[in-house]
Every structure is written in structure tokens, then in C-alpha cells.
């Protein structure tokens, strides 16, 4: 399971790998039904404070669709729809640049680097208003940067180093916008019950999953019909949506650096003070121990790149079919969000992690059946087996990931939302990146290449069993306190 977003951003992780059959366990008409509340005054409240910008009582996932919340949902939607380039990137690296699975995994891990320094973006956004705004202006900048990176991929990039650089820049743009929008989410989630925080996260990841559905429907057929360069060109237009919706963000202009920051020695002293403040918050047991568990869980090795080469080179899956599989996984992610929002957001975190880890590891073994061809002995074609496997694993993976976000959002201290939440997510993404690199190393050790898959089944078994190793550390997670409207932050209770 992965929080990091690989190739194009997860996640998480957030979520978003280039391999659609394998990112299902990683990194989202009645789900999006809206209702009009008769009491319009109650609809203005999405947190402990009334939202004075609320202009509508239309709700989605139990959250009022105010301009701010629409902007948040649209940024997540863009993160999901950017998956349009996932298959194009995968086939470009494999067929145009002729890279091996291990090399592809390394580039994937390299593209995740911007997600490891998210606290830096949070510090910049919190501390240095750009053109007078801490959130709105950075959304504009992120969108423009993402458009530039995909434009370069669509025109003149023709080497693995150039591709890696552009993918890195694209990942940076998504990571920065993710930090900005996460800070807006955290500001609204603070002081809320686990149930209300879960509703807000459900809106965010439901929007992302819906964007994934839209992109998945076209991703494979566009690669087949027009080629990877054309897909990159279309993708270059999508980040501009992030820039456009920034006008919906209701934000008071700030004149000069925030927190009294100034350049020179004053800046250095303030930066040092912020780092110590951040460390003081992170080292608290109620933050450090859960974060350590998430990091270790994410750091288990992954076999995604090797499996992508198997299903395309050995089984002959076409881009169009993989687009259909990606569509199924996106729908499944949306189902996972709805499942969590409806039934799991009040279930103790330890129980969710335990059950989903065990079931996920067991179901992950089903890929061995596909590699060995045993599914055909049961009368199930490779195509239908892949679709069913991806569907189940995506639902499970999203149900696992949602409580991670809820826990992280509710332990952020006042005044440093972007920086602190970004730190927690960066640590989790760092674990996912480490897991991808460990998977690349195991792929090399087991001798799996673009046309040799003798030990692929063994690689899958090792990777799936390793995901159970962190379970004895479940005690690091906080015991859940009773969920009520008066609930504020999650606190660690001694085990």
C-alpha cells in the first residue's frame, strides 16, 4: 500500500502509480448525491467555526459546497485526472526509451522526491505570501509549473534523464498544490469529530477518485489512437484548472512576510525557530509513534514495475485494455471512499489497519495465479482475472488509506497547518519511496527483466509477506477515544 504518488502523482499518496494493476492496493451516482438542507444556517457550519463564505446549502459527502470547499475538491479532482498521463508515461519509458523494470522503478522513486520535502512547501506557503496571498497565489504557480513540465514531455524530451527531470517537475507542481490544499483541509478539520473529519477527507478523495475515473476512461484509447506525445500535450492543459479555481479561495491578503519574517538574519532565526517548533510537535508520542508505524508500513517492498512489464510484454495487454482496468480501479477507489465514509469512519484505527493489512496481503497473493497461469485452469481469462483483482484491491487499499489522512489531519497544531501536515505526509511518502527502491533492488536480485519473468512469482510472494512485518507495532497507534461532536484532537492513551 502506498501514500506516495509515483510518475505523475497518490497519495496516499498519495495516492497514482504508473502501473494500474498494482497501484490499486496503494493510494480516491448516489455517492455524489446532493441535498438541500431546510435550515440554511446549519449548512454554514463545516467546523467549529461558522463559514461566513458559505453561499449554498448543497452538500456532498456531508460537507457544504462553499466556494472554498469547491476549490479544494477541484484541486483534488485535478490530481485524479492527471492520471491521464500514467499509461503514456509507462509505455514511453518501456517502449520509447527501452528501459528495464528496475530502471523504471528507480525513475518512479526519483519522481517521488518532491513529496519527501513537503514541509518546505508548507513553510513557504505559511510564511511567505506571494503577491499578498499564502494559498491562492501558490495554487496559480503550481498549475503553471505543471503545465510547463508536460508541455516539455509533449515536444522535445527524448532521453531518460530529460523524462525523469520533467516527471520530477510535474510531481513537484502537484506536491506543492497538495500541500496548499491540505492546509485548507486541516484548517477546517481542526476541532472536529472523527466522523466530520472523515466526511471532509471523503469529499477530497472522492473528488480525486472521480477525476481518476474521467482520466481512466480516455487514457488507454488515447495512447492507442494518438500516441504518448499527444497524451502528454493534453495533460499539459489540466494543471491550468488548478490555477483557475484559485479565484474561489476566500483569503484575506497579507502584506509582507507572515509571522514577522524578513530576509537576512531575521529570516534565518525565524526559520530555525520554526524548525525547532516543528520538531517539538513531531516528537510528541501521540504524533511520533503513529507516524513511525505508517512509515514502516509504507516501507515494505513493492513489485509494481515488474508486474507492469509482465502484463504488457508477456500477456500482451494493450493500452486500451489497461485504460479499462484503470477505469475499474478508479471506480473502486470511489467505492472505497464511500465505504469508509458510510461504515468505517467510527471504527477504531487499529482494527482497520489490522484487518485491511491481513486481507490485503492475502489478496495480493492472487497475482501469483496470474503469473503462473493458474487462473486459466479455473476457466478465468487473464483479462477478467486482472479486472476483478484490481477492483477488490482498490476498494481495500482506499479503505486503508482514509484513516491515515484523518489521523494526520486531526493531530496538527494551530498556526502551522501546512508545514505540520506536510511533514507527516512526507514521512509516509518517504516510506513508500523506500519501499519502491527496495522493490527495485529485489527485482534486480531475482533477475526479473523486461523479457524474463521466471522469479516474478517469488518476488510477489516476498513483497506481500513483507507487508505483514509492521503489524506487531500496531500498539504504536493511539487508542481511539469516543467519537462526539465535542471531540477535538486525537490523544495518545497509554496502552
* DSSP assigned state of 36: B
| Long-range contact pairs involving 127-131 (C-beta distance under 8 Å, separation at least 24) | 127/257, 127/258, 127/259, 127/261, 127/270, 127/274, 128/257, 128/258, 128/261, 129/253, 129/254, 129/255, 129/256, 129/257, 129/258
Three-class DSSP category at 262? coil
- What the block records as the C-alpha cell of 330 is 478508479
Q: CB of 183 within 8 A of CB of 17? A: no
Distance of CA 304 to the CA centre of its chain: 16
Q: CB of 420 within 8 A of CB of 413? A: yes
- Determine whether 318 is exposed, middle or buried from the number of CB atoms within 10 Å of its CB (0-12, 13-18, 19+): middle
- Return the sign of the alpha-carbon dihedral for residues 244, 246, 247, 248: positive
> pTM for the whole thing?
0.67
Say what the pLDDT of residue 475 is.
77
What b/e string do you get for 77-104 counting C-beta neighbours within 10 Å, with b at 16 or more? bbbbbbbbbbbbbbbbbbeebebbbbbb
Q: CB of 366 within 8 A of CB of 389? A: yes
Distance of CA 10 to the CA centre of its chain: 2
- What the block records as the C-alpha cell of 158 is 527524448
DSSP E strands, 89-194:
none
Tell me how far apart the alpha carbons of residues 204 and 212 are, in angstroms, rounded to a whole number. 13
Cβ count near 240 (within 10 Å): 15
Say what the pLDDT of residue 419 is.
67
Find, among 464, 353, 352, the residue nearest to 22 by Cα.
464
Q: CB of 264 within 8 A of CB of 168? A: no
Tell me how far apart the alpha carbons of residues 153 and 495 are, in angstroms, rounded to a whole number. 52
Tell me how far apart the alpha carbons of residues 356 and 26 are, in angstroms, rounded to a whole number. 12
Q: CB of 78 within 8 A of CB of 243? A: no
> Average pLDDT by consecutive 10-residue portion of the chain (495 residues)?
35 38 35 33 36 52 74 90 90 89 84 82 80 87 95 92 92 90 73 59 79 84 90 95 89 62 55 72 73 82 88 89 85 80 77 82 88 89 88 78 70 64 77 86 90 91 89 74 40 33
Say what the pLDDT of residue 234 is.
95
Amino acid at each position: 500500500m502506498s501514500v506516495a504518488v509515483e510518475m505523475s502523482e497518490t497519495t496516499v499518496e498519495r495516492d497514482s502509480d504508473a502501473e494500474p494493476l498494482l497501484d490499486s492496493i496503494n493510494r480516491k451516482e448516489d455517492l455524489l448525491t446532493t441535498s438541500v438542507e431546510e435550515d440554511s444556517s446549519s449548512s454554514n457550519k463545516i467546523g467549529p467555526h461558522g463559514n461566513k463564505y458559505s453561499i449554498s446549502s448543497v452538500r456532498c459527502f456531508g460537507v457544504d459546497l462553499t466556494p472554498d470547499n469547491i476549490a479544494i475538491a477541484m484541486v483534488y479532482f485535478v490530481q485524479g485526472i492527471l492520471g491521464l498521463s500514467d499509461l503514456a508515461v509507462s509505455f514511453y519509458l518501456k517502449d520509447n526509451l527501452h528501459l528495464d523494470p528496475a530502471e523504471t522503478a528507480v525513475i518512479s522513486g526519483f519522481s517521488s522526491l518532491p513529496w519527501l520535502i513537503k514541509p518546505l512547501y508548507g513553510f513557504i506557503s505559511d510564511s511567505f505570501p506571494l503577491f499578498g496571498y499564502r494559498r491562492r497565489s501558490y495554487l496559480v504557480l503550481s498549475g503553471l509549473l505543471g503545465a510547463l513540465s508536460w508541455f516539455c514531455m509533449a515536444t522535445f524530451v527524448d532521453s531518460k534523464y530529460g523524462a525523469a527531470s520533467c516527471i520530477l517537475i510535474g510531481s513537484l507542481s502537484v506536491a506543492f498544490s497538495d500541500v496548499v490544499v491540505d492546509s485548507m483541509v486541516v484548517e477546517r478539520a481542526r476541532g472536529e469529530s472523527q466522523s466530520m473529519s472523515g466526511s471532509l477527507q471523503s469529499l477530497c478523495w472522492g473528488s480525486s477518485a472521480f477525476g481518476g475515473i474521467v482520466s481512466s476512461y480516455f487514457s488507454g484509447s488515447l495512447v492507442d489512437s494518438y500516441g504518448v506525445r499527444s497524451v502528454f500535450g493534453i495533460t499539459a492543459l489540466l494543471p491550468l484548472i488548478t490555477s483557475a479555481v484559485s479565484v474561489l479561495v476566500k483569503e484575506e491578503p497579507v502584506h509582507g512576510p507572515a509571522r514577522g519574517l524578513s530576509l537576512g538574519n531575521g529570516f534565518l532565526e525565524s526559520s530555525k525557530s520554526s524548525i525547532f517548533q516543528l520538531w517539538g510537535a513531531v516528537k510528541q508520542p501521540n504524533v511520533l509513534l503513529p507516524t513511525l508505524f505508517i512509515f514502516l508500513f509504507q516501507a515494505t517492498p513493492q513489485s509494481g514495475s515488474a508486474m507492469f512489464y509482465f502484463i504488457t510484454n508477456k500477456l500482451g495487454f494493450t493500452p486500451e485494455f489497461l485504460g479499462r482496468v484503470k477505469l475499474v480501479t478508479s471506480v473502486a477507489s470511489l467505492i472505497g471512499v464511500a465505504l469508509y465514509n458510510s461504515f468505517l469512519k467510527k471504527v477504531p484505527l487499529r482494527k482497520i489497519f489490522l484487518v485491511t493489512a491481513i486481507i490485503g496481503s492475502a489478496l495480493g497473493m492472487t497475482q501469483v495465479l496470474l503469473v503462473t497461469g493458474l487462473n486459466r485452469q479455473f476457466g478465468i481469462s487473464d483479462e477478467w482475472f486482472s479486472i476483478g483483482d484490481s477492483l477488490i484491491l482498490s476498494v481495500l487499499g482506499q479503505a486503508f488509506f482514509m484513516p491515515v489522512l484523518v489521523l494526520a489531519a486531526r493531530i496538527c497544531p494551530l498556526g502551522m497547518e501546512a508545514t505540520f501536515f506536510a511533514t507527516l505526509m512526507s514521512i509516509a511518502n518517504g516510506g513508500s519511496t523506500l519501499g519502491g527502491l527496495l522493490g527495485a533492488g529485489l527485482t534486480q536480485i531475482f533477475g526479473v527483466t523486461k523479457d524474463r519473468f521466471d522469479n516474478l512469482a517469488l518476488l510477489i510472494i516476498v513483497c506481500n509477506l513483507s507487508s505483514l512485518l509492521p503489524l506487531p507495532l500496531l500498539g504504536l497507534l493511539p487508542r481511539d477515544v469516543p467519537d462526539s461532536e465535542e471531540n477535538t484532537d486525537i490523544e495518545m492513551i497509554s496502552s
